[in-house]
């Protein structure tokens, strides 16, 4: 699902731009050189995934005819429009997510991702043509290392700071869009929007509004280069933690790295029973 700004922009124009990005996908899959080139303005500028800047349709055409035929052998590709920005009513930018796939539609191993950005201009005939395109590949994720551990600790510090300052946006800033949370009462919240709404409501009033927390992250275990689990112990204050008492709550986290950024994919909170 893509976003559109400004909000009052024409939905018909947005739909047409999504259709044109689908043409980029279709012509690349089919190795359709002429269909691909038909999308461009005569004075377009294209930056390839390898960092070559091509100025003008003639130069773009020469390059495309040299690489596209046979370039998709044994592969497919998927394009998804993430955001459309209307700079003016007749100039628009599309931010796209790209992934190369097997012919069966499965991700490659390792995954091959891109984040293309296309700039479109409406012509005299009313339709849009591409005036600039930038292909940017997403670097492959490296092995899980110390910088990743530091990133996970930073995420939990933001969760703690958001809780202590009643800032629901900061507290939930690192949740994935499809995250799932099980709270200490067993209620399941699905998706970041629902998690944010629940956090706002909880921090706005009641005991959470006045509560504070101090967190310690531990037991960090990478399950893969881009997936890790960890536990989090929670005390009401740092002093309570340093005093050596048991935590009031424990949480199990599943973190996932997406496009180079670690996010919270799953979290389950459990209250620690008090000693009799």
| 38's tokens | 């038909």
**Residues in a beta bridge with 232:** 217, 251
Question: Which DSSP string do the residues of the chain spell out, in sequence order?
Answer: --EEESTTS-HHHHHHHHHHHHHHHHHHHTT-HHHHHTTEEEEEEEE-TTS-EEESHHHHHHHHHHHSTTTTTTEEEEEEEEEEEEEETTEEEEEEEEEEEETTSPEEEEEEEE--EEEEEE-TTS-EEEEEEE--BPPPP----HHHHHHHHHHHHHHHHHHHTT-HHHHTTTEEEEEEEE-TTS-EEESHHHHHHHHHHHHHSSHHHH---EEEEEEEEEEETTEEEEEEEEESSHHHHHTTPPPSEEEEEEEEEETTEEEEEEEEEEEPPPP-
**Binning pLDDT at 50, 70 and 90, where does residue 276 land?**
low
Average pLDDT (63-92) is 94
What local confidence, expressed as pLDDT, does residue 97 receive? 95
Average pLDDT along the chain: 93
Contact in structure between 14 and 125 (CB atoms under 8 Å): no
Of 77-91, 126-140, 205-219, the poorest mean pLDDT is in 205-219
Tens-place pLDDT, residues 161-174: 999 999 999 999 99
Residue ranges of domains in the chain, CATH in brackets: 3-134 (3.10.450.50), 146-271 (3.10.450.50)
Tens-place pLDDT, residues 239-273: 999 999 899 999 999 999 998 899 999 999 999 99
Of 33-37, 203-207, 222-226, 265-269, the poorest mean pLDDT is in 203-207
Tens-place pLDDT, residues 61-70: 999 999 999 8
* pLDDT at residue 139 is higher than 80: no
What local confidence, expressed as pLDDT, does residue 74 receive? 86
% of the chain surpassing 90 pLDDT: 79
The whole model's pTM is what? 0.56
**Residues in a beta bridge with 151:** none
């Amino acid at each position: 699902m893509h976003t559109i700004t400004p909000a009052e922009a024409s939905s018909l124009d947005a739909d047409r731009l999504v259709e044109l990005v689908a043409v980029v996908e279709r012509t690349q899959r089919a190795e359709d050189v002429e269909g691909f080139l038909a999308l461009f303005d005569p004075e377009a500028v294209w930056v390839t995934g390898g960092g070559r800047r091509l100025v003008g349709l003639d130069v773009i055409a020469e390059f495309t005819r040299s690489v596209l035929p046979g370039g998709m052998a044994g592969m497919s590709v998927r394009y998804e429009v993430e955001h459309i920005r209307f700079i003016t009513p007749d100039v628009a930018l599309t931010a796209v997510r790209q992934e190369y796939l097997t012919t069966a539609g499965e991700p490659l191993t390792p995954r091959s991702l891109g984040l293309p950005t296309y700039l479109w201009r409406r012509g005299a005939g009313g339709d849009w043509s591409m005036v600039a395109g930038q292909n940017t590949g997403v670097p492959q994720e490296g092995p899980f290392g110390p910088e990743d551990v530091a990133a996970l600790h930073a995420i939990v510090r933001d969760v703690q700071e958001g809780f202590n300052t009643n800032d629901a946006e900061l507290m939930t800033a690192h949740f994935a869009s499809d995250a799932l949370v099980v709270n200490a009462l067993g209620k399941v919240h699905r998706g970041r929007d629902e998690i944010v709404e629940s956090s706002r409501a909880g921090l706005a009033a009641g005991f959470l509004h006045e509560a504070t927390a101090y967190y310690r992250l531990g037991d960090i275990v990478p399950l893969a280069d881009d997936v890790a689990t960890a536990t989090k112990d929670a005390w009401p204050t740092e002093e309570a933690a340093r005093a050596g008492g048991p935590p009031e709550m424990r949480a199990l986290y599943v973190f996932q790295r997406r496009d180079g950024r670690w996010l919270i994919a799953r979290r389950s909170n459990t209250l620690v029973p008090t000693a009799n």
